[in-house]
Structure 1
């Protein structure tokens, strides 16, 4: 029986949700501490001082560590994943939508370790994606242990994601919103309460072991006057373009790397090492691109870069992120988008304050708005991104400016990509999750329960359907059948096992199953 059934099992579900949140919170804190320890061992500095330390480090050290890290990642992924790729937030969204709230645990653990090595050895990505996926691995294990149904497993996955984000960034409100807005992609009441509890549990774990501190310490800023708001609208549009460039650069790098490695027959385990070499070369001139980048983000939020320095760092960071993802190294895209956003906002702020010195605020204020605006365009998550900027900085005085920039960036970027970086990746894999449940629910319905076994008089009909090419394999899903029904005049298909027909699939049965699945999904999203 599912853990969410009425009766005493409801209490068990709440306890399970809390335990899942605590476990995901500890996993996120442990992941963060492990990066600190390994990075300090290799570079002699953590991410807060890494760029400054690398500026005076020996060139061979800057070059060698990312290469070695990439090779280790390549061997690890080659050995423990079927496709040689790191699994991250995209996989979690897919698991929630298509796989009853579950992800592959073996590949998930390998991906977490690969991301840990990547982030500790110079990969230019972030830690939020790995911890969200690690939380999903935990929730999948729990869901299997309690034999949870799809809705319960998805809610537990949301709990784990919320707790992981909350613990990683000490941001419980943003963690809960991220789980609802990005992972589950709905705000059903049955999910909000347990996810909020899990997010609070994750934040408590973080504060017990790391402290109740914001990630970035900023001076309190004030919006100069409402006449300045049009400038933040322009910043939002610019940020949407930058977010689009970042997303498309990563996708282009992945496509180019796929083509090059295939044409040159480069072993897939070598690919991350090549990426590490290119990152090391780039870091010789621009050490700011190495690692998560919080030192550079903090400096940008404090207005410590000039206009051209900020512009150049935006370009080099985009290249570094594309190289990291294109090389199939680990990590997430959220932290890089924060850094790129802060630098974009700072560069825009230099221009705005020069043009309007009498009415404008500080450059740092624009950097803060840009931080959320670019991240929102990349993640397709304006609510959670706005909130996480506030929680990371502790600056709640600039809410109007941040919200305005975030909303316009999200609106523009969602039209230039498939809603977000994650959903664009899924769309390129042929998984139309961005278009809504009506487009992907058929992917979740197997044909086994819908097939009518062949009767003695059905053999001639099955042979005729086979001759017309109106056939499906027995293991196919309903999404493969629906186009065949739409394109043909005969409302029946032959189902094959190998080359032999084993049954018939009638359009009426397919539509009945499709309708039932839509009703079930609608009830889950509105209950």
Structure 2
């Protein structure tokens, strides 16, 4: 039995080292299937929890149909839910309050994708309360956190290298979007474009498998219908393209205003207690809900009515304005929900209003539903600065190939207007920046994050104390090491070429005890890096401690470590250049 365990441990260790490279497609594909199952199951549980509260306790006719509630209930429900959230978040630690997509991005940038279990639980139950009580937020943000969180925990449980955990976080994010919208391809592109912000051939396979598995599970429970019921949309004529471009620019401006309002309200309420800011958000939503019940919840039922032509101009304008204000207040008020859903609702209403306006103009031949549908993708794209994800979500939700060209035009014009005319970045990156953090997505940083230190390190290394006997020194050199790590208590460890010790041992008069710090030759200070780290982490340590090398180690018991290799600054540069 002991031999079997040792063999299994050795096999797993080799597989972990292999995952640190960029050639581990089969293993990552298998892990993508696993986290797709876990993420899909968690998202299903999350959605069932929301629906159970809405259908069971509130007795709604269907999920998210808050319009059927009485006027007092439309006011009291969001307020009560926000009070519960405020008290609950106030009672937990500050570190555990961070949730949502911004939290995922922050953990990817500063913690290599290690998402805490406590925050995941806070997101799960906080998101259920927020959505069940009718707050003006979406379920996609919490879903992405849940999918990414369970994937990260899986990778950490298996002691995978951090570059693999990063891939698993992308898998969980894709699975979450796919299970929420029933749009697997859009989920894949969303994970690549919004979460990890890079496209890699090796990364696509596990992410695709995770999205497919989660979508299949979601369809088995909730059916094959997409989040929105969109009628068949006709194609746009060439004369309509001008008006579609104008609509895209207008929606891009609206997106910039929405993101600007969120940032402004967050700055105002930055130091407010959660016992105040969350109930105020619920009060605002409840107050608007008295007069415009469609503002409550995700608003997907209003989207279905709009695309089927059952909403008039006045009501669409009121929903757009109410959703604009309520969602900005909820997001800035730290309500644990998402803002992707609200952007889709606002885009839908803006597109519907624009359709009613241009229908009176000459050379407009397209069905008004076309503008309504295109508005959804344009607003989502502009707010997230994710044109491909928005475009594919639109195509998967409508199943209409005729939309490809006009949708591309609407998405790109909205994106460019928001970014180039108004200087708006992704709302998530803006919120991260406002919190004093930066997400580095330059090619060098992304490239270094794809590779683990064990894939590049020099394995010809031994370690010893600063004081050793001549006999032990010869035993060390019998392993033909290129480097010797000299362990020092209280000071930085030292790195010395093995050739220096070999030359010293050839001298005629050797002392019985050798002080390695006094052996003639080169020595340099080094710091330790975990064996699961990426080259990006190793480079950060080199810069932070102003050293030229790190040694790679992994835990080997209580308080002890095993040194696996040495990594120098030039090794990192050569690795990135060759790849």
> TM-score surpassing 0.5?
yes
Residue 292 of structure 2 is matched in structure 1 by 286
TM-score, normalised to structure 1's length?
0.81
**Residue 312 of structure 1: CA displacement?**
2.7
**Partners of 2:88 and 2:214 in 1: how far apart?**
29
**Residue 521 of structure 1: CA displacement?**
7.1
User: What is the aligned counterpart of 1:65 among 58, 63, 77?
Assistant: 77
Which structure has greater strand proportion?
2
Residues 78-227 of structure 1 aligned to structure 2 (within 5 Å): 78-83=90-95, 85-227=97-239
**Residue 79 of structure 1: CA displacement?**
3.1
**Residue 394 of structure 1: CA displacement?**
2.7
Deviates further, 340-349 or 34-43: 34-43
**Partners of 1:506 and 1:9 in 2: how far apart?**
32
Residues 7-406 of structure 1 aligned to structure 2 (within 5 Å): 11-45=26-60, 50-54=65-69, 57-59=70-72, 61-83=73-95, 85-259=97-271, 261=272, 267-356=273-362, 358-406=363-411
Where in structure 1 are there 5+ consecutive unaligned residues? Answer: 262-266, 457-475, 483-494, 496-504
Deviates further, 13-22 or 186-195: 13-22
Asked whether the 8 Å contact 2:171–2:208 carries over to 1, the reply is yes
Question: 1:321 is paired with a residue of what secondary structure?
Answer: helix
**Residue 282 of structure 1: CA displacement?**
1.2
**Residue 324 of structure 1: CA displacement?**
0.9
Question: 1:354 is paired with a residue of what secondary structure?
Answer: coil
Asked whether the 8 Å contact 2:385–2:415 carries over to 1, the reply is yes
**Partners of 2:183 and 2:361 in 1: how far apart?**
36
**Residue 347 of structure 1: CA displacement?**
0.9
**Partners of 1:65 and 1:400 in 2: how far apart?**
43
**Partners of 2:576 and 2:345 in 1: how far apart?**
37
**Partners of 2:100 and 2:394 in 1: how far apart?**
22
**Residue 146 of structure 1: CA displacement?**
1.2
Higher relative contact order (CA 8 A, sep 6+): 1
Asked whether the 8 Å contact 2:85–2:126 carries over to 1, the reply is yes
Asked whether the 8 Å contact 2:137–2:327 carries over to 1, the reply is yes
Question: 2:103 is paired with a residue of what secondary structure?
Answer: helix
Residues 430-445 of structure 1 aligned to structure 2 (within 5 Å): 430-433=436-439, 436=442
Asked whether the 8 Å contact 1:216–1:298 carries over to 2, the reply is yes
**Residue 271 of structure 1: CA displacement?**
2.7
Where in structure 2 are there 5+ consecutive unaligned residues? Answer: 1-12, 453-486, 495-516, 518-536, 551-566
**Residue 268 of structure 1: CA displacement?**
2.4
Asked whether the 8 Å contact 2:133–2:297 carries over to 1, the reply is yes
**Residue 513 of structure 1: CA displacement?**
7.3
**Partners of 2:410 and 2:57 in 1: how far apart?**
39
**Residue 36 of structure 1: CA displacement?**
1.2
Matched, 1:412 2:417: yes
**Residue 204 of structure 1: CA displacement?**
0.6
Question: 1:397 is paired with a residue of what secondary structure?
Answer: helix
Which structure has greater helix proportion?
1
Residue 460 of structure 1 is matched in structure 2 by none
Equivalent pairs, count: 470
Deviates further, 292-301 or 335-344: 292-301
User: Kindly tell me: are residues 376 and 10 of structure 1, through their superposed partners in 2, closer, same or farther at Cα, counting changes over 3 Å?
Assistant: closer
**Residue 437 of structure 1: CA displacement?**
5.6
**Partners of 1:135 and 1:519 in 2: how far apart?**
35
CA RMSD of aligned residues (A): 3.3
User: Kindly tell me: are residues 286 and 153 of structure 1, through their superposed partners in 2, closer, same or farther at Cα, counting changes over 3 Å?
Assistant: same
